[in-house]
Amino acid sequence: MKRPKTAAERKERVAEILRRLDRIYPAATCALLHGSPWELLVATILSAQCTDKRVNEVTPGLFAKYPTPADFAAVRPEVLAGDIRSTGFFNNKARSIVGAARKVVGEFGGKVPRTMEEMLSIPGAARKTANVVLGTAYGIASGVVVDTHVQRIGARLDLTKHTDPVKIEQDLMKIVPQEKWILFSHQMILHGRALCQARSPKCAECDLNSVCYAKDKTA
């Protein structure tokens, strides 16, 4: 596909990218193991600067020890930090999780809220975390999750010129239909892990190769 020049050509290129992502990752979903919106919120906070694999190794024991938001709200952050040490940045994460638990218990009746505005009032929940929880737990398409994979692939596919996650999200929300926001985020993240890696993208194996104009493409 030639580099599009008109708005119609750019729109068709995005539609083609979405079709190919649907073909490659038809059932993409969140890799973080969870049994409730609250558990997903905790897991997402833990996933900052940490692999999902590591988080999934920690959370089963963590949720067995602290089954409810009230249990997390009652624990001292320095105690919780010891339980999550292997995820890195454990002191900050412990403070965020305890703060989130107290907010959820104290203001939302123990239930993770369903609106972006309310989610953003929770300690440790910026837009990325809020979008993960609202999209995956509730099926609410409030925005596009922008993690490092989405940021990198969005730039490589020329879907955004920005480096700020908020501006990247705004760009993606304009060109990706809202009903695709949740799935699109998961597809991009999976693609970043499987093929479009930061240092050595596997371009020869990638079905998006012919619609990609990345300067760092490999042979």
Show which of 83, 115, 138 is a domain's final residue.
138
Residues 183 and 120 in one domain: no
Contacts of the segment 90-94: beta carbons below 8 A, 24+ positions apart: 93/45, 93/46, 93/48, 93/124
Alpha helices by DSSP H, listed for 108-147, are 116-119, 127-132, 138
pLDDT (tens digit per residue) in 15-30: 999 999 999 999 999 9
Rounded Cα–Cα distance for residues 25 and 185 (Å)? 11
Compute and round to an integer the Cα radius of gyration of the chain.
Answer: 19
118 and 77 fall within a common domain: yes
User: Within this chain, do residues 77 and 149 fall inside the same structural domain, yes or no?
Assistant: no
- Coil, strand, or helix at residue 61? helix
Tokens of 21: 């992502």
Instruction: Report the predicted TM-score, pTM, of the whole model to 2 decimal places.
Output: 0.94
Given the residues 22, 147, 158, 171, select the one marked as catalytic. Answer: 147
Could you tell me the pLDDT band of residue 5, with boundaries at 50, 70 and 90?
Answer: confident
Six-digit token pair at 185?
């985020």
Catalytic, 128? Answer: yes
147 is catalytic: yes
pLDDT confidence bin for 1, thresholds 50/70/90: low
Q: How many domains does the chain have?
A: 2
In terms of domains, do 48 and 116 share one? yes
Nearby residues of 94 by Cβ (< 8 Å), 6 or more positions away: 77, 78, 80, 81, 84
Determine the structural domain holding residue 95 and report its residue range.
Answer: 37-138
The Cα–Cα gap between 67 and 108 comes to: 17
